Homo-oligomer: A and B are copies of this chain.
Amino acid sequence: MARRGSYAKGIAKREEILSAALEVIARNGYGRASVRELADAVGLSQAGLLHYFASKEELFAEILRKRDEVDRETLDAAHADERLSMMDGFVEVMRHNADVPGLVQLYARLSAEATEADHAARPFFTERFRLFRELSVESIREGQQDGTIRADLDAERIASLMLAAADGLQTQWLMDPTIDMAEHIEYLLTLLKPPAAA
């Protein structure tokens, strides 16, 4: 911001591109989101946009990275609130997802494409999965400490199942928007409670 010269400008422009792309995709979905289309939205030519990102795949990965940064704040806020846990923030993020179908679709499609061995976005997803599991395990263990989650559960397995359920629900919801993603995650969370607890 306060920095001078082309470097700072480049950073700022990247951010501007990402913000614009985020809006376009949220509105129009992944299918019609070519580099050209995104370039138009920010007032650049296609080549001009690709000056900032090595490839389309990396651009898309950066969009999701930026989205995750925003969502991460929701998670941290919930974690900081002593009446809540990271899992409450997670449910809130899922609830918010229902407002941005285009982004949900981008996530679903790019994560599927990134299963290809040489896909540029693959490192993004493997790291994302790792971090999600790490945060979840931490949150689950906290719940086990304070008695809100069954102590006998395997936090690692639950974390992977949580991630899987969230991703799978997004595809189901894209096919049939009457599915309530957040409610299903909440229901899964109730399965983790001790028999005695409310």
Chain A interface residues toward B at CB < 8 A = 29-31, 105, 108-109, 111-116, 122, 125-126, 129, 153-154, 157, 160-161, 163-169, 171-172, 174-176, 179, 183-184, 187-188, 191-192, 195
**Minimum distance in angstroms from A121 CB to a CB of chain B:** 11
Instruction: Report the separation of the CA atoms of residues A151 and B183 in the bound assembly, to the nearest whole angstrom.
Output: 20
Nearest B residue to A183 via CB reads B157
A129 with B169: in contact, given A112-B109, A164-B184 (CB under 8 Å)?
A: no
Instruction: Report the separation of the CA atoms of residues A122 and B176 in the bound assembly, to the nearest whole angstrom.
Output: 11
Q: How many copies does the complex hold?
A: 2
21 contacts between A and B (CB under 8 A): A29-B116, A30-B116, A105-B116, A109-B113, A114-B175, A115-B171, A129-B172, A157-B183, A160-B169, A161-B184, A161-B188, A163-B168, A163-B172, A164-B165, A164-B167, A164-B171, A164-B184, A167-B167, A167-B171, A168-B168, A191-B192
